[in-house]
Chain A
Amino acid sequence: MNHLFHGTYYDLLEIRPGSPQHEVTRAYERAKQTYSSDNPALYTVFTEMEARELLKLIEEAYLVLGNHIFRSRYDEILKDPETQIHDLKFQDIVGPLLSPGVDKQKAYFRPHYQKESKMEEIIQGEEACDGAFLKKVREYKKISVEKMSEITRISSHYIVALEKNDWSHLPAMVFVRGFVVQIVKVLELNEKKTVDSFMKIYKADVAKKK
């Protein structure tokens, strides 16, 4: 049976896109009751088989909207002007996040940006990887400070201080190293080279100030 539904999962559950999670769950429960075969309201409109198919779609919608990561990805896909909702399939949304060997979080938070060969060369060749360099790469990879903070769970205050090489606003050295490792991972840079370079600069600066 062809299920082509012209709307989004939000339309299917009859909620607004920005609805909080509890409303999504309530709408899902309501939809499940509505399309259960013993509901007299279905009479002469949807057959039992059609109601079962509808329930499958409703389950699918809730699988996506009921999960924070899947829902964020789905919202991002919807925001893309090139997205054709008609062609969007369940697998397109959750597939990349469920592939074996792929860390769900990593797949969701992977940076989406246009590669520029010139910039890539600069990144590859950079020897002095200080805060300004990390900022440059972050901006190039179109990751906001807020998103970086969301991914790494590092306070945006520390991320900004780190990018400004403002050591006075950073915690002890051991923590700073941890921060840099996290950020470098998200930026998909050479971890060892970048972290070593950053820590070398950091230590030298701190020693100078003493």
Chain B
Amino acid sequence: MSEGIESFEKQTGKVVYFEKKKIASGHSKPLFWAVASGKGGVGRSFFTSSLGITLSRMGYKVLMVDCDSNGGALHSWLGGHQKSKSLLDYFSGIDHLNSYYTSVGFEKLCLLSGETCSWGCDSRGVRTFSDLLDDLKKEPFDIVLFDLSAGHNDSNTEILKSSDIDDVFLITTPEPSSIEKNYRWIENYILKILLKEEDQRALCSFYQKRKEAVIEDRSLFEVRNFLEDLQNKNGYQGKTMGPLKLIVNQARNFEDERLGDSIKSICNKYYYTELQPIGVLQYDNAVWQSGRQRAPVITQQPFNPLVGQIQGLVKHLVDLTAQRAVI
């Protein structure tokens, strides 16, 4: 028997994690949440797995889809080994989507594992991500989490371009390389996901001219003003999703905790794009310790403050008014 919450549950016999709120009511499809990051190794899969486990414990039916085309490792954060069936099998197969799910040892939580072998990933087969999204809409889940690849690639673009995606979570750490790559990710997001084709060309030629201009001749807000004009003139791609949601992972001090607000302000002033910092997860050794044991932190160290932060964050995401929580 695993230690932690399970044993606690057995002792008390009545653990109530959170009260399930009907977040999916009014939706004819599950909520689609995509988790992205500009740089790899910043805790994207860790966050996705923690989000999935916490939501399933709150009573929601959750499916996690490992879309990392560089070889998904989401299963490692869920205490499992490589799964026999993966997304690649779905793309090349003809069976119903639910035959590709695998259970991960948590009630109401399923995983559609990532591509477990890099060889042959290019030959996707007959199905695409658009087919996957269409199939997922009919599945009886409350929430579907997409763990995207780091940076931008065709798979990410295909998923994010879909108007079915309800929210996008962007993970960063306080390291400059992570922050820098997230800005590049946001630029790509604006260019490839939000802008219409003619506006994409306009932005590229504007940026080329800006690059060639003498630095002293540049206007402080010219990028913002250009994007503002584009948005006012043509509007963005008809996306209805809310602002990008930013999570600062591995925060070590108070300065790191304020990073989310800073990035928000800079995105507003530079990209004319709304970004919503939704939470900070502190650096904790528990993550690499449980990672080595290939077990979720939530079950390995349920009373760790980091677990409390994750639960608080998820509670906030699900319902601002949901206050009741045990553990």
Q: Which residues of A contact B (CB under 8 A)?
A: 1-6, 14, 30-31, 33-34, 39-47, 49-50, 53-54, 57
Contacts and interface: CB of A to CB of B under 8 A. Distances in A.
Given A1-B219, A45-B266, 7 more contacts: A1-B218, A4-B225, A5-B225, A14-B265, A43-B180, A50-B220, A54-B269
Given A5-B221, A45-B270, A30 B265 contact: yes
B82 to A, nearest CB: 37
A184 B261 CA distance: 51
8 contacts: A5-B225, A30-B265, A34-B265, A40-B174, A40-B179, A40-B259, A41-B262, A45-B266
Nearest to B267: A45
B180 A54 contact: no
Interface in B222-272: 222, 224-225, 228, 258-259, 261-263, 265-266, 268-270
A203 B220 CA distance: 66
A34 B269 CA distance: 11
Q: How large is the interface on B (under 10, 10 to 19, 20 to 34, 35 or more residues)?
A: 20 to 34
Nearest to B225: A6
Which 5 residue pairs of A and B lie closest in terms of their CB atoms, listed nearest first?
Answer: A41-B262, A2-B219, A34-B262, A44-B180, A34-B265
Contacts of B91: none
B173 to A, nearest CB: 11
A126 B222 CA distance: 58
A30 B261 contact: yes
A34 B258 CA distance: 9
B183 interface: yes
Contacts of A57: 220
B215 interface: yes
A14 B270 contact: no
A31 B261 CA distance: 9
Contacts of B219: 1-4
Nearest to A44: B180
Given A40-B174, A45-B270, A47-B215, A31 B220 contact: no
Contacts of A54: 220, 269
A46 B218 CA distance: 12
A9 to B, nearest CB: 13
Contacts of B262: 33-34, 39, 41-42
A2 B220 contact: yes
Contacts of A5: 220-221, 225
Interface in B266-291: 266, 268-270
B221 A46 contact: no
Contacts of A4: 219-222, 225
B221 A1 contact: no
Nearest to B180: A44
Contacts of A42: 262, 266
Among A14, A39, A40, find the residue whose CB has the most chain B CB atoms closer than 10 A.
Answer: A40
A33 B221 contact: no
Given A6-B228, A33-B258, A34-B261, A41 B221 contact: no
Contact of B221 (A3, A14, A40): A3
Contacts of A50: 220
Contacts of B215: 47, 49
A3 B220 contact: yes
A210 B273 CA distance: 74
A160 to B, nearest CB: 47
Contacts of A39: 262
B154 interface: no
A5 B220 CA distance: 8
B13 interface: no
Contacts of A46: 266, 269-270
Contacts of A33: 258, 262
Nearest to B265: A34
Contacts of A40: 174, 176, 179, 259
Given A1-B218, A1-B219, A43 B179 contact: yes
